[in-house]
Chain A
Amino acid sequence: MTALVTLRNVTKSYVRGKQKVEVLHGVDLTIETGEFLALMGPSGSGKTTLLNLVAGLDQPTSGEVLVAGDRIDRLSRGSLSDWRARHIGFIFQFYNLLPVLTAEANVEVPLLLTNLSKAERRRRVQVALELVGLAERARHKPNELSGGQQQRVAIARAIVSDPTLLVCDEPTGDLDRQNAEEIMNLLQALNRSQNKTIVMVTHDPKAAEYASRELHLDKGLLTNDTRRAA
């Protein structure tokens, strides 16, 4: 297996007023292609911060971040957003769908950054929606869908451009048990049958069980790295 994500001695500090607060203290981490990583830990431990660094949403204070062969800690803001468009699929806790757009238009959004033809975009949207089992809801607006359905639309949006890495921050955090299970089954299926590499932050140990590897973050340091047999 090859390393898709490599973090070397990564620190991240925030400046709050006059005070500098270090949130990540020298994190070393390797994630391999095809892994489904669950990142756990108490609130405020720095999970989202770490995920944002891996996803190229933020830059480390020091250290190296190598993802999909690119030293993204060295990219400018402009090239970082192009890089995200090419490599990262995002799944958020609150779905972050655009309320004015239908499900299919929402799924199409990442494709607007590509040079694909309208017909090709439409075809891929259709495939992605079928994959998450929502083809018949294509014309619905987010407010006409349940939370679980909205998250499935968000997953379709995350995979439609075939990104290198799926990044999820508490994807089931806003869902009830049954919907959470459906979403986790879907993510696991994407990981197993499509070989998608997934990094998922979660509070929920049940959700973490779907992952192939479980990693704990405590006060800005990684602890407890467990791999599960598939």
Chain B
Amino acid sequence: MKMFRQIGAVTAMNFRSLPQRVSTSLVVVIGIAGVVAVLVSVLAMSTGLIRTMESTGRDDRAIVMRNGSIAETSSALDRNSAKLIVDGAGIKRDENGEPILSAETFRILSLRKQADDAEVSAILRGVGPKILAVRPELKIIEGRMFQPAVAEVIVGKSAHAQFKGLNVGDVVRSRGANWTVVGVFDTGGDAHESSLMTDAETLISIDQRGSFQSVTALLESPAAFQAFKDSLSANPALAIDVVRERDYYQQQSKTMANIISIIAYVVGGIMAVGAVFAALNTMYSAVSARLQEIATLRALGFGSTAMVMSVLAEALILALIGGVIGALLAWGFFNGNTVSTLGGAGGLGQVVFELSVSPQLMILGVVWACVIGVLGGLFPALRAARLPVAVALRAV
């Protein structure tokens, strides 16, 4: 109890002398705010990417690819295989009794970003005629659906917002054709919104590549997946892998999200080391500036624990202020901002996603700030406590 009173009294005194040390204290606050802002915003990227990817794909849809393909990019399915997949068990059927699936293929289109004119690669996905049944979440929000046999595309909402030249009526040039944008679609914020879509047969005939790359099938239920997979695997004429759609996209994004997280921690870590030194420097000078006060208080009977705790408390509070500022900066500037991946997550092309500065991330940032503060305050605090009183009093 008495200890807390001592700590409180000494800390209060320290804080009253803080105005005389504003500039050095600001260095700590700003430094830590910077670390936290960078850490939180970079981590917000991986969280955002994961979130986008988690919302991409459903448990009751399956993707069929050639066996051994890690991603759609490296997969190819000939027409025969595509036909055989139609007979898989557990595929949901429409009112006409036809299985709901979409044999798909895609090409990479080179586009430019709205923001900085940088070249990006977007995906042009050729889809089957039943695409709206396979993907009931796909809604045309502007213009109309593409028609088969003509070079028309619809563009995802994110692609429309991020990339140049994708307004309805614009023409997108690719190697084999000039595609006219006829509509904009929404798929509920998933990764497909970063892509363009057209009719698969049209796409195949234009660049004369006679194969699909994957088949996406809507199943009767999530539980029907195993039966679907087993029935296709049992067919000796098919050499394919069957993956649940959600698992597929999560797998594809995992590597990218991990890389972003590693970058966040490496960059954040390096900056944090810098901030620790800034804090050390500041707290050392705070301690030397107050050496006479500290010596006097200890002569009067204040314990060295109170001294250590009060220096730590000061460092911690500066760090806390910095941490909160940094987290709020990251949140204010970046939360909800859309960015796109640089390379493309797996076979997904440029994925556009929202940075997500979650409360957990902000707390993580503040925790980092506190750790930096404690590390930066500890040695100066111990110095304040260790120096013999008689020596400290003479040093004045």
Contact = CB atoms under 8 A, between A and B. Distances in A.
B210 interface: no
Contacts of B9: 109, 112
23 contacts: A77-B304, A78-B303, A78-B304, A81-B301, A81-B302, A81-B304, A84-B300, A85-B302, A86-B301, A90-B296, A92-B296, A92-B393, A94-B396, A96-B292, A96-B396, A98-B297, A99-B17, A100-B16, A100-B17, A100-B20, A109-B9, A113-B300, A115-B2
Contacts, number: 69
A65 to B, nearest CB: 14
A109 B300 contact: yes
- Main DSSP-derived SS at the B contact region: helix
B220 interface: no
B303 A81 contact: yes
Contacts of A136: none
Interface centre among A57, A77, A99, by most chain B C-beta atoms within 10 angstroms, is A57
B26 interface: no
Given A58-B390, A112-B9, A113-B6, A84 B301 contact: yes
A98 B293 contact: yes
A99 B396 CA distance: 14
Interface of A: 48, 52, 55, 57-58, 77-78, 81-86, 88, 90, 92, 94, 96, 98-101, 109-110, 112-113, 115, 157
B368 to A, nearest CB: 31
A78 B389 CA distance: 12
Given A52-B390, A94-B396, A98-B293, A110 B16 contact: no
Contacts of A101: 13, 16
A90 B389 CA distance: 13
A57 B390 contact: yes
B299 A57 contact: yes
B5 to A, nearest CB: 6
B298 interface: yes
Contacts of A94: 396
Contacts of A52: 390
B388 interface: yes
B300 A110 contact: yes
A101 to B, nearest CB: 7
Given A85-B302, A113-B300, A113-B301, 13 more contacts: A52-B390, A57-B299, A57-B390, A57-B393, A58-B390, A81-B301, A81-B389, A84-B301, A85-B301, A90-B300, A98-B296, A99-B17, A113-B2
Interface residues of B, number: 26
A69 to B, nearest CB: 18
Interface centre among A94, A109, A110, by most chain B C-beta atoms within 10 angstroms, is A109
Contacts of B5: 112-113
Contacts of B302: 81, 85, 113
A110 B5 CA distance: 12
Interface in B286-326: 292-293, 295-304
B85 to A, nearest CB: 79
B393 to A, nearest CB: 7
Contacts of B13: 98, 100-101
A77 B293 CA distance: 19
A85 B13 CA distance: 18
Interface in B1-29: 2, 5-6, 9, 13, 16-17, 20
A90 B299 contact: yes
A84 B390 CA distance: 13
A24 to B, nearest CB: 13
A197 B393 CA distance: 23
A90 B292 CA distance: 14
Nearest to A49: B390
A21 B195 CA distance: 83
Contacts of A90: 296, 299-300
Contacts of B296: 90, 92, 96, 98
A110 B394 CA distance: 21
Contacts of A78: 303-304
Interface centre among B5, B293, B300, by most chain A C-beta atoms within 10 angstroms, is B300
Contacts of B390: 52, 57-58
Contact of A81 (B16, B17, B298): B298
B97 to A, nearest CB: 86
B349 to A, nearest CB: 61
Nearest to A48: B394
A98 B310 CA distance: 16
Given A77-B304, A84-B299, A98-B293, A57 B389 contact: yes
Contacts of A96: 292, 295-296, 299, 396
Given A98-B293, A100-B16, A115-B2, A82 B301 contact: yes
B12 to A, nearest CB: 10
B37 to A, nearest CB: 32
A112 B303 contact: no
B74 to A, nearest CB: 70
